[in-house]
Structure 1
Amino acid sequence: MFSLFIFSLRNAFRKKGVAVLAIIGVGVGVSLMVFILASSAGANQAFNQSFTKAAGEITISSENAPMGLGISGGEASLIPKSYVERVEKIKHVESVSPRVMTVISSKSLKTADPFSILVGVDPERDKKGDGPTTAIFEGRSFSKDEEVIVGKVLAQSAKIAARQEIKIGDKIEIIIPSKEPGIPPEKINLAIVGKFETGNFLEDYYLFSSEKTVRKIAGFPSDKINSIVAEVDSLENIEKVEKAIKKEFKNSEPPIQTLLNKDIFTNLENTLNIFTKFRLLISVFSGVAGGMCILIVMLISVIERKKEFGILKAVGWSNINIILSILIESLILSIIGVIFGLLIGQFGIFISGYYLEFLREYLLLSWQVIVFVLSFGVIVGIVGGVYPSWRASRVAPMETLRNE
């Protein structure tokens, strides 16, 4: 068997140029497969981290609030701040954070979106719920009015859209229209003092500041809020707490609605799964395209070596020996191509992460990806060699020698 392997190894590189082209063909297909699968694995990991962080939260807002958040719904979408104490008393509620929210222009930030969401929170309550003020990775949290902290995803958005990084100390200019005629609008500058990363990509796309600052910008009264974020002690109690909240506010005016982050993430997970399957399909097609190079090279090799196979059969080689020889040649080229593709893919991931920092956490070359690609390479090598090996085994020794 070892001598058969050595024979096949030599024959695989008999025509070095053709063999190299086959290896490059497989390598390019595999490198694309690696990059696509790594991006899928990274996206799934980021999603799972966000789900773990946010799945145990319930958002309570006015029944009239758009998307269950109350943003841009005016005063009709606000709820009394007194609702906070009532939610706090419900069993299994671990922490409660009232929020005031408004939409501001992203012109100063130069993000991909024209508008950003500014959220006002009570720092003490936010700390109890392990909110953004406890997840600062650069700078510090806001300690006075007109200071803001920026989510990591939002900061990355600015870097992508304008090739410009949001820096600590940058200012966000806000124009507050006057409610009285004849009085000019007020201009304030919000100072960016920190950046945060909660792991919840929804929150990491917001800016956070004090309640007072956001109320001033939005023009909301001091006894009203947009929403309440209640953190439940465990996922097992999430539906139970939601029912208790609805019961508590059943006859309240204004009426409320509840939004489970778990439901939002379930919908997002379904969408992510569709994209993952689509990317997997593309990666498989890429690998198959590379495998076609093996098939073509092996077919050419078999056609050119008909006399050789005839002689081998004449001196005692069986059909099985011929088939195994071609399959081993095919596997050798395929596996070398896969290793080459893995190296190219890893290099592509490194370069992408180096020049596009935001991509680093979304490109994950896990051992599962490596095992899948290697297994796929073995299958491609075998499949690519099946037909050529069958053709080689069908060579008739006497007919071949007679034709020669």
Structure 2
Amino acid sequence: MSFLKFILKNPFRRKNSAILAIVGIAIGIIVIVALGGITEGLINTFEDTIHAGGADFTVSGKETGDSAYGTNTISSNWTEKIANVSGVDEAFPIYVVLTSVGDDYMNTLIGIDPNGTALADISMKEGRIFEDNSSEAILGEIYAEDNNYSVGDTIDIDRQEFKVVGIYQTGDQNMAGGVFTSISKVGDLMDDEDSISNIYVKVNKGEDPQTVADRIDSQYGDNITTVTSVMEMTQMADMLNMLQASTWAISLLAIVVGGLGIINTMLMSVFERTREIGVLKAVGWSNGKILTMIVGESLVITIVSAIIGSLIGFVACTLLGPLIGMEPLFTPKIFIQAFAIAIVVGIIGGIYPALKAVRLPPTEALRYE
């Protein structure tokens, strides 16, 4: 039997000890992978939200309300006021409502000027953009696929018939399941032509979006609020840092707990194999080879734990995440971190027992019963 096969098989000669060690370390890896996926998913969702559209930032109502964005709707005349602020290139209002769409009792309907769709970060997959103030709509690719709609079909929106003139795609998963039409038509449907939900704002080339947003706040901050990526990142930084710190804290805990577990397992292995180690030394095995064998066996256990823990963490998060409203995102970095921790635990957990084995005098080891 080769030296490598010897190392791979040895840890599983004592199955109960090996299984307990693997379970203990795998639990830590599961938590690391799950927390990593959730953290990355939250960051990704957050960035998708604040960068929604080609807009540099958005303007919304100041007070909490019952609109689709959780704020009060604002008067449509705010669009002109915002457009006239120095540094603003374009300002397009949107009106987001929840209403009956097709067979859905409640779905997201987004009204916008056809010329402002570029700021909503959507691109046409099929068909064309709707015309202003027409009974035409474009559907998100997810909504269209789920409900078997295609260009040329008709769809009922709030009990009125609209023609599907296009299918759009977007990087925003929330919008991918929605429907766009002219903002004037949404105003008609809601019998509220003077209200809007938000305003998408694009600044002039060379302007700093945060500076323009601050300018708007200084003029109109008592009535409206601006939402920029810089502001949102500042507000969210503490929460994201806490999540990432938690991941690293649990990683450290996994190293400590896993290291103690593997040390105990390998010490028991050395104790039970004292005579075997003496025989190996007697037949010419060097101290370096004995040390490599023990550390190698420790690494085998921790790497198996990393594989099992990573798979369980990935599957559990993927299946359970959507049920609790979370979309985990798994990047190579998460799994690299998990395996790096497993390797560190394996090395740390194997060195002390290996040194104990190396220090065993061959003559005493051979007499051991």
TM-score with structure 1 setting the length = 0.65
Q: 2:347 aligns with which of 382, 395, 399?
A: 382
Work out whether 1:119 is the aligned partner of 2:91: no
2:124 corresponds to which of 109, 133, 136? 136
Give the unaligned 5+ runs of structure 2.
Answer: none
Change (3 A) 1:148 1:61: same
Aligned to 1:13: 9
Counterpart position of 1:208:
180
- In the alignment, which residue of structure 1 is the partner of 2:74? 78
CA gap of 1:314–1:372, structure 2 versus 1, over 3 A, is same
Task: Give matches, 1:60-99, under 5 Å.
Answer: 60-61=59-60, 63=62, 66=65, 73=72, 77-81=73-77, 83-99=78-94
Task: Give, in whole Å, the separation in 2 of the partners of 1:378 and 1:58.
Answer: 45
| CA–CA distance in structure 1, aligned partners of residues 19 and 235 of structure 2 | 45
Distance 1:326 1:92, change over 3 A: same
User: Gaps spanning 5+ residues in structure 1: where?
Assistant: 1-5, 157-163, 175-186
**Structure 1 residues 346 and 152, CA gap change in structure 2 (3 angstroms):** farther
CA contact (8 A) 1:145 1:210 kept: yes
Q: Choose from 150, 160, 164 the match for 1:188.
A: 160
TM superposition shift of 1:24: 6.6
Cα drift, residue 92 of structure 1: 2.3
Residues 19-58 of structure 1: pairs in structure 2 closer than 5 A:
21=19, 25=23, 30=29, 33-34=32-33, 37-38=36-37, 40-41=39-40, 43-45=42-44, 47-53=46-52, 57-58=56-57
**Deviation digits for residues 109-147 of structure 1, max 9, x if unmatched?**
36xxxx5543321112x14x4325x42346654346444
Q: Any conservation in 1 of the 2:135–2:185 contact (CA below 8 Å)?
A: yes
Q: Secondary structure at the match of 1:118?
A: strand
In the alignment, is the contact (CA less than 8 A) between 1:118 and 1:207 conserved in 2? Answer: yes
Alignment partner of 1:306 is 2:277: no
Separation (CA, whole Å) in 2 of partners of 1:363 and 1:64: 33
State how far apart, in whole Å, the 2-side matches of 1:57 and 1:256 are: 20
Residues of 2 paired with 1:226 and 1:96: CA distance?
13
Q: Distance in 1 between matches of 2:305 and 2:299?
A: 10
Query: Structure 2 vs 1, CA of residues 213 and 65 (structure 1 numbering), >3 Å: closer, same or farther?
Result: farther
Deviations 1:50-85 (A, max 9, x none): 544569634335555738988784xxx53253x433
Question: Alpha carbon RMSD of aligned pairs, Å?
Answer: 4.8
Letter in 1 for 2:210: E
- What is the letter of the counterpart of residue 375 of structure 1? A
Shift of 1:383: 2.1
Percent identity over the alignment is 25
Q: With the length of structure 2 as denominator, give the TM-score of the two structures.
A: 0.70
Counterpart pick for 2:146 among 165, 186, 205: 165
Q: 1:201 to 1:231 in 2, by over 3 A?
A: farther
> Hey, what's the Cα distance between the residues in 2 that align with 1:72 and 1:47?
18
Partner letter of residue 88 of structure 1? A
Q: Measured at CA, do residues 15 and 121 of structure 1 come closer, stay the same or move farther in structure 2, by a change above 3 Å?
A: closer
Summarize the Cα distance change of 1:37–1:117 in structure 2 as closer, same or farther, 3 Å threshold.
same
CA separation in 2, counterparts of 1:71 and 1:43?
A: 19
